Structure 1
Amino acid sequence: DPTQTIVIGSHSDSVAEGAGINDNGSGSAANLALAVTLARLFRSPSYPKYKYRVRFCWWGAEEEGLVGSVYHVIQALNSTVVGERFSDYLVNLNYDMLGSPNYIFGIYDGRTARNDTPPEALPGSNKITALFRDWFVRHQLPWDYTGFDGRSDYFPFLAGGIVAGGLFSGADDVKTQQERDRYDEMLGQGSGGMAGIIHDPCYHAECDTIQNINVFGYEKMVQAAAYALEFLGRHDDLKSWLYASSDIH
């Protein structure tokens, strides 16, 4: 149903200083893996198609100020073509940096959305937060909330009243001793990374190459992303789950 669309997004650009393998080759590759896998599964008669359309997007110029995603949202707001209108979008999931070497399993915290966020987007965004959190809990993995303050491409969707969420493995915040110890306890001694070091020491730097990816952390983030898509795609009435009845038009 093109009037009920799940948007999966990641930015495809990097800063000029480096190759951008974690920021954001990791999110772009995860997005592509989801798209290719879903297309393959849908060719099987034993895997029923979703009742919702899924639109996979790779945004340009995020590092220049969310240019690509903002442009897309403006075009959708002005469109009258069924399936291309902003009102046809149900939710945006954003994957920006999933393989940080000193990673956290970061989940955008809907409760930290900006104060000017349209209220209709907040309950559903909190449900997306809980959806990811419950996956990590169920798999006995550590997790952390991360700020939902508009620094990535989910922002124009959220600002327009669309439910949003996603994952983030950390950039220039320092891993605390408490974080390291908690990850060590749940993952095994020595697996929790390094306290006092930022989550991605190669953030926006020349050394953000393929060697900058933590493969274990990245795999878990992609698995969580796949779970979230399957959960949403199989939901009987996603719009009613995400939005209050008074906000459904």
Structure 2
Amino acid sequence: MLLGTLLTNTAPIFSDVRTYWSPQAVERVCGKRLEGRAANGVLHLINSGATALDASGAVRDERGESIMKPFWEMDQDDIDACLAATDWCRANYEYFRGGGFSSHFKTAGEMPMTMIRLNMVAGVGPTLQIAEGYTCVLPDDVHKTLDERTDKTWPTTWFAPRLGAPGFETVWDVMNHWGANHGASVYGHVGGDLITLASMLRIPVTLHNVEDERIFRPSLVDGFGTKDLEAADMAYCQTFGPLYRG
């Protein structure tokens, strides 16, 4: 999460990768087909107040499109818009016996996002997963029906990863390959930068959907093969070991 924030200078979204909703399931439950960027299905990203209010999509650019700004560019109008898009719900006592409140909103615009997870794999060490895609806006009635299938007091982001790469054949495949039920997302498509940074730190990238022309790794990686670049990356990282050791 910190790496993505440092690359984008924007606030992070930390969420459960809670549910995969297929187009067929949405039509069965809601009587409507998903359209636009959501047409192939969506992931429900949701967590108790762990998503920055910037992810409400309430901040707009000069074209009226939702954006997330670096914190030093947020003016009072931007802050007021994020607060107006947010309400504060009593904590679910099943999760939070001590009570409290959670921020609650839904991401109200289509924004480019990169979802990131760092896994610790026994015998391998840290590995990185990257999924670029877009936030989605669902019809209000569809959002309400799906949102109430889980904790409706938490902030929700509907996310559609970009498909086509290995492991990204369908939205379900992305969730199925994800290391566990959490991920950190940041504004923009920064997967290429993350891959370069991971190679410098010697952290293998085991899942990503970044186009080949946007990937830069040290040429030394080619010494471990060029046909399967993820396998070569793994071998390179294991051979040289982490740049920083605990």
Q: TM-score, normalised by structure 1?
A: 0.23
The structure whose residues are more often strand, as a share, is: 2
The structure whose residues are more often helix, as a share, is: 1
- Higher relative CO (CA 8 A, sep ≥ 6), structure 1 or 2? 1
Larger Cα-atom Rg: 2
